[in-house]
């Protein structure tokens, strides 16, 4: 008993040790701190050796906290990953608590002890539990029995609890750091200029694309400088600077176009507010998507369309004209030539239709629609039926009408909407065999006006349905090979309907028939 008393640390040095450990653990360099803390504890309790068994589940954390392979090998302290599934450390893991072995030879649990207790007669095993995770076990050894006391045990446990708080903080710090690295990697991988600004418009962060932009524009924008002080000469930033100066209230993001007159570049800019309520910080994130190439391509496309309309149309008209002349002069005994002429005429007509459709796309996409004209629904439906009847009659098809609960008027672009409706009906006529049936339905339900055309024609395979409303898409359905078309009509219907805030749909089954429809919102 007395020998044990002799080995007890006096309370003031206990406190000193804990104060020293606490002080050490406030330092950031966990790599060295943890090693020093353990050496300190080992010295304080007079251990001959200390070994930290690191749980392999947290190997990544440990690697970030201290690199085991870089620890100076010394006589007192070693650390290694693993070794926690057996022996005394395994027991500490199982019990999730510290174990004091006063005398290895006399201990009831000696049968589970392993080589970790070689040359030791007394031992202490204390787990390091961090936020519920058992991350390691510290094993302290002494060559003589009865060396470690209850007091030592308590002291080591308290010191390890302190260490666990520091390890927890180090893990959090690593987590934040790796999040920051990931964020930086994303930022730099984005090929469009991106800026993070504070409320005053000072640059907090910018990506490589932004740096390249400013370098090419000879703008010396450094971190911490105000955007307004450096980019006044580049019109691309006009609106951005306005928003920083007076952010429109109630909005937290803005999407707009910007043009750098100086560099002749066009951007789609997305600017949004960021906030960190914990620290009362806020600011803006600016992403500038360079759309110059798209705009140039669009211009090129428009030029091509314009050229198509004039330069291709006239030769086509000439070809058709000459066909007529040749036909008139053709001797009656040459029916084969007449067939050739017919083929030329058919092809030119198809090319002409294609040009007409191309120009319609261009017209619809670039011109503002007359969206707000009141239209008399009944009158418009009557016109559509009247225009569609000749085609249906030619194929001996039944054209039925089911109009009910019609609104008196809808507000839309009259020509575009009528063409969209006629497109559904003419397609139904086109893709329904002779003597088929077509039903045209129109009605108002809730706050929408519905227009639906059903036929019992060839139908469309399921695989085509998702692409049917894209430009130039034609579903190559067996039995429709001889039907002429450009694949443009439905895409125009979709564009027109969506520009009226409506929606199109199609349902169809091969060999049974199709249903095409759209709805438009009714103005309240």
Chain residues in the site for ligand ADP (CB under 6 A): 423, 427-428, 431, 455, 457-458, 460, 468, 474-475, 477, 480, 485-491, 514
Please provide residue 103's backbone torsions phi and psi, each rounded to the nearest 5 degrees: -140, 110
Closer by beta carbon to ligand ADP, 162 or else 480: 480
CA dist., res. 202 & res. 194, Å (int) = 14
- Is residue 442 within 8 Å of 471, Cβ to Cβ? no
Instruction: Tell me the DSSP string of 62-109.
Output: HHHH--GGGSPP-SSEEEEE---SSHHHHHHHHHTS-EEES-TTT-GG
User: What's the gap between Cα 266 and its chain centre?
Assistant: 24
CA dist., res. 493 & res. 236, Å (int) = 36
Nearest residue to ligand ADP by CB is 485
Residues 6+ apart with CB under 8 A from 198: 204, 281, 282, 283
Tokens for 169, please give them: 């903080």
Min CB(215)–ligand ADP separation in Å: 48
Closer by beta carbon to ligand ADP, 84 or else 428: 428
Closer by beta carbon to ligand ADP, 213 or else 518: 518
Min CB(255)–ligand ADP separation in Å: 31
Min CB(282)–ligand ADP separation in Å: 49
Min CB(333)–ligand ADP separation in Å: 38
Min CB(213)–ligand ADP separation in Å: 42
> Residue 168: which of 131, 193, 205 has the closest Cα?
131
Min CB(500)–ligand ADP separation in Å: 18
CA dist., res. 240 & res. 228, Å (int) = 9
Closer by beta carbon to ligand ADP, 91 or else 428: 428
Min CB(506)–ligand ADP separation in Å: 8
CA dist., res. 220 & res. 251, Å (int) = 30
Closer by beta carbon to ligand ADP, 301 or else 464: 464
Closer by beta carbon to ligand ADP, 122 or else 486: 486
Min CB(304)–ligand ADP separation in Å: 21
- Is residue 105 within 8 Å of 155, Cβ to Cβ? no
Closer by beta carbon to ligand ADP, 167 or else 453: 453
| ∠ Cα 215 216 221 (to 5°) | 30
For residue 489, the tally of other CB atoms under 10 A from its CB is: 21
């Amino acid at each position: 008993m007395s020998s044990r008393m002799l080995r007890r640390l006096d309370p003031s040095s206990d406190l000193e040790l804990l104060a020293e450990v606490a002080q050490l653990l406030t330092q950031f360099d966990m790599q060295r701190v943890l090693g020093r803390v353990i050496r300190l504890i080992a010295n304080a309790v007079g251990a001959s050796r200390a070994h930290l068994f690191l749980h392999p589940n947290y190997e990544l954390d440990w690697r970030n906290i201290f690199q085991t392979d870089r620890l100076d090998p010394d006589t007192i302290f070693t650390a290694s990953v693993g070794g926690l599934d057996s022996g005394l450390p395994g027991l500490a893991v199982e019990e999730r608590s510290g174990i004091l072995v006063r005398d290895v030879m006399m201990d009831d649990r000696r049968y589970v002890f392993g080589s970790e207790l070689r040359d030791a007669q007394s031992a202490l095993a204390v787990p390091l539990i961090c936020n519920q995770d058992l991350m390691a076990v510290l094993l302290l050894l002494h060559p003589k029995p009865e060396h470690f006391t209850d007091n030592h045990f308590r002291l080591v446990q308290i010191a390890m609890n302190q260490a666990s708080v520091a390890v927890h903080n180090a893990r959090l710090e690593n987590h934040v750091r790796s999040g920051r690295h990931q964020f930086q990697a994303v930022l730099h991988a984005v090929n469009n200029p991106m800026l993070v600004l504070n409320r005053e418009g000072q640059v907090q962060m910018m990506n490589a694309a932004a740096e390249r932009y400013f370098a090419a524009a000879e703008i010396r924008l450094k971190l911490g400088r105000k955007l307004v002080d450096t980019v006044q000469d580049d019109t691309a930033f006009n609106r951005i600077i306005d928003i920083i100066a007076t952010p429109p209230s109630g909005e937290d993001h803005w999407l707009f176009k910007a043009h750098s007159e100086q560099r002749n570049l066009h951007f789609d800019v997305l600017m949004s507010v960021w906030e960190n309520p914990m620290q009362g910080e806020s600011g803006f994130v600016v992403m500038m998507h360079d759309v110059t190439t798209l705009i140039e391509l669009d211009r090129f496309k428009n030029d091509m369309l314009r050229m198509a309309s004039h330069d291709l149309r006239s030769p086509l008209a000439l070809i058709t004209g000459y066909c007529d002349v040749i036909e008139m002069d053709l001797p009656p005994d040459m029916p084969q030539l007449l067939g050739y002429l017919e083929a030329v005429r058919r092809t030119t007509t198809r090319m002409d239709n294609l040009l007409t459709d191309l120009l319609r796309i261009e017209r619809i996409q670039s011109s503002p629609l007359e969206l707000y004209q009141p239209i008399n629904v009944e009158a418009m439906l009557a016109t559509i039926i009247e225009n569609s009847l000749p085609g249906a009659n030619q194929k001996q098809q039944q054209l039925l009408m089911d109009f009910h609960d019609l609104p008196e008027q809808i507000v839309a672009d009259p020509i575009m909407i009528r063409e969209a409706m006629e497109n559904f009906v003419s397609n139904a006529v086109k893709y329904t065999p002779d003597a088929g049936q077509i039903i045209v339905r129109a009605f108002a339900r809730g706050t929408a006006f519905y227009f639906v055309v059903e036929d019992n024609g060839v139908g469309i395979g399921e695989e085509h349905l998702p692409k049917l409303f894209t430009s130039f898409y034609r579903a190559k359905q067996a039995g429709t090979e001889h039907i002429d078309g450009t694949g443009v009509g439905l895409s125009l219907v979709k564009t027109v309907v969506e520009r009226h805030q409506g929606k199109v749909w199609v349902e169809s089954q091969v060999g049974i028939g199709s249903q095409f429809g759209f709805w438009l919102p009714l103005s309240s």
